[in-house]
Structure 1
Amino acid sequence: MKKIGMFAATTAVAALALSGCTTVHDTAPAGGSAGGDDAVGITFSDLSNPVWAELVQEAQSYGAEQGLSVTYVDAKNDAATQVTQIENFIQQGVSTIIVCAVDANALAGVTKRAQEAGIEVVGYTQVLENYDAQYLVDAYNTGYANGEAAAAWIDENFDADETVEWALMDLPRFPEIIDRANGIKDAIAELAPNAELVATAPALTAEDGVANAENFLQANPDLKVIATIGGGGAVGGNEGVKSAGVTDDESFGLFGIDATENEVQNIIDGDPEKSTISLGGGRAHGRTLIDITVDLLAGEAVEKDQFMPIEVIDASNAQEYYDEVFGD
């Protein structure tokens, strides 16, 4: 079984609350030129994810600083729509297409056509068949770090012979997120054998997280822990737990991934959320994807498979992290 220590992050993370997400788009471009050497097209599986919403905004603004005209579109979790979006980018003659796939298998043909047309293809989070570079999550170890933090909290707050019920917010439609959830489950099973998984439900948005937390607690009144695969579920879950009347910060633990601004503030405030995992965050990822694009267009040697950093943010470093990343 793979294990990790507490990896150090080298980049900053920020994410918008759902109410502050960027305006999303279908097949119509969000600004930028129609095509040319400076044109970059981005298609994302679902921009209701606040981290990804901020990513595309940062990529657009940072890209402009690098002389690139960046257009982004939202596939809204429809693979056929995403294929059409990429076809449109090819027809427009963009220099680079950045793809967060709805279904990577569905994109094999259209990404190959893009490359044959001389367009650089950059993948994000989902592994593509045809690409020039990709920026990926070490999915299993990210989940393991989350589960490791949850297990440490269980060990600190409960006796070893005391059964501790926990629930998982997952997102099983993506293979990488399945790996992330497996990492969470493996870590808790190994490091907190007295913990019992009693419920699972998918969560991408804060609304999902609120509903899941309320349903988990209604069905399992002895629940003590929720682990989530992303920041949307974590932020909503934190609110759902509080709305259910859980106010004692030592009686319940919620563990997230993404280290959004809301998540880190929850930890500082002593809310149910006890830790989150920083992977670099939306703004940093947007800049990294543009940096990769600039290097590809310049003909520089680019490592094809690059991975996001992993860092645990908890009460010991949340304020410092918040000041560094989100402070004025």
Structure 2
Amino acid sequence: MDNERLLVSTFGVFAAAYVISNLYRTWVERRQLDKIPTVGPSGALSSYLGVYNLVFNGRDMIQKGYNKYRGGMFKIPGISKWTIVVAGPNMVDELRRAPDDLLSSMEAAADLIQMDYTIGPEIRLDPYHVAIVQSSLTRNLVECFPDVQDEIATAFAEHIPATEGRNLDYRTLNIDFTMNVVKAAIILNLFPNFLKPLAGRLLTKVPSSIKRAMMHLEPTINERLRQEEEHGKDWPGKPASLRHDSPLTTFTQVLFDLAARPSYVAALREEVEGVIREEGLTKVSLQKMRKLDSFIKESQRFGGGGARMVTMHRKVMKDFTFSDGTVVPKGHSIAVANFALHHDQVS
């Protein structure tokens, strides 16, 4: 009996300590967050209205915060956590240099597109594709140039004017899948965490999309696995990297901007043809196309990545302290006021 009482007492002490620890942590976190100015309502209930306002008037909210807190930071509400928006170049650099175990871009992306409920948790738990892009694909970019050049020429011939693509269903699948994930993520971010599994099952089209994709990819995957089993990992004719058929958003935006500003065509064409004539189409020759590089950067600043309200999303894995002493608590997100910063006449 005494042992049972001792056990109950011990459990009660640990439970009380756990509750007190959580309350203290919440109090400290609240004090840290209160030091960061808020754009939009910040009350326990009114902040939910700020989330919906962000969906419909996000750019105005971010711009208002940037104008008021330029060089510093401010916070905007989420359903369960805050997003701290950086509004100065120095802090952007601190954000860029922070290690992934402190500020994680992968975890931020998973939250942003609600990966567990739209694509599935497997990609978040085993991001094998990141290593492929950073190593195998990047190392073999030069070998991809002929394929890329052939694909561009074919795409122009097929789509300007538009006709059926090489594999219309597969291309449509790629485009629709991306849009479906983005749409579902926007909606899911409006739900509290406990409702997201149900909303994800009702809203996502991932299972049917994967089934369609496997109809196209399974024969190729099985053939490559057979070749590897029969001849080893370095089997004859093994592709150096994966072919990429989908049009790139960057290229599309550049094409639109070039069509809207035909006066730039002659100078860009002269530069590209001159470099290719002397160097050929290589990775090194692309670096010598400075006018083209400048045009692409400006195109992105105005209409591509530069047009996004915020970028460089990071999830705070451990309490993070900026050089000015501002502490962002674990679990919240940090991002950069991208559009405002890129269109600031002062900075």
Is TM more than 0.5 here? Answer: no
Q: Which has the higher contact order (CA 8 A, sep 6+)?
A: 2
TM-score by structure 1 length? 0.23
TM-score by structure 2 length? 0.22
